[in-house]
Amino acid sequence: MSKTDNRIYKTALTGLFAAMSYVVFTFLQFKITLPGGDATSIHLGNAVCVLGALLLGGLYGGLGGAIGMTIGDLFDPVYVVYAPKTFVLKLCIGLITGFLAHKIGRINESSDKKHILAWTIAAVAGGLLFNVIFDPLVGYFYKLLILGKPAAELALAWNVASTSINAITSAIVSVIIYMPLRNALIRSGLFTKIC
């Protein structure tokens, strides 16, 4: 596959991952309404983001997750004010996951299943750990400026809990899906080389 064809292929798959992350985030979420009209949710949108980063690399995978979940925020009156925060944080999840998986772990250059599984788990854990730490922190300061301190402190506790649950479930789901999907893509000749 030429470099141009590879870029077109990855761009098309980025759009697919954006659509999947939007659908999973918007329609398969359990929303928790908080006092003051704010909300948090349990969802698997982050699983799609890290899966994209594992398959396409950090930039394309992160963009897919960021675009999809940001669109989900923009269409939800409760989350619309958080769209910029969502875009930046989800892009960072993808960048970190992709960097750990492809630049450090070099999972696309290995055929050792144990090596690939270990680095897949490490990369997913690294990307989602970033989110567990920074989503509540950035959200706290974001809400502090918009909602005032009492609402920000109340939302912080709920956000830490929901983000942790999202990280654990997303890590499990993305690793379970990635390993057999990777093998199927290799057998079919659709597995891309990450540059």
Kindly report, residue by residue over 29-66, the tens digit of the pLDDT: 888 877 666 677 889 999 999 999 999 999 999 999 99
- pTM assigned to the model: 0.91
Kindly report, residue by residue over 156-169, the tens digit of the pLDDT: 777 888 899 999 99
In this structure, what token pair is assigned to residue 81?
A: 């004010």
Most trustworthy range by pLDDT among 63-67, 75-79, 81-85, 110-114 = 63-67
* Residue corresponding to tokens 């999947």: 20
* Residue corresponding to tokens 């993305």: 174
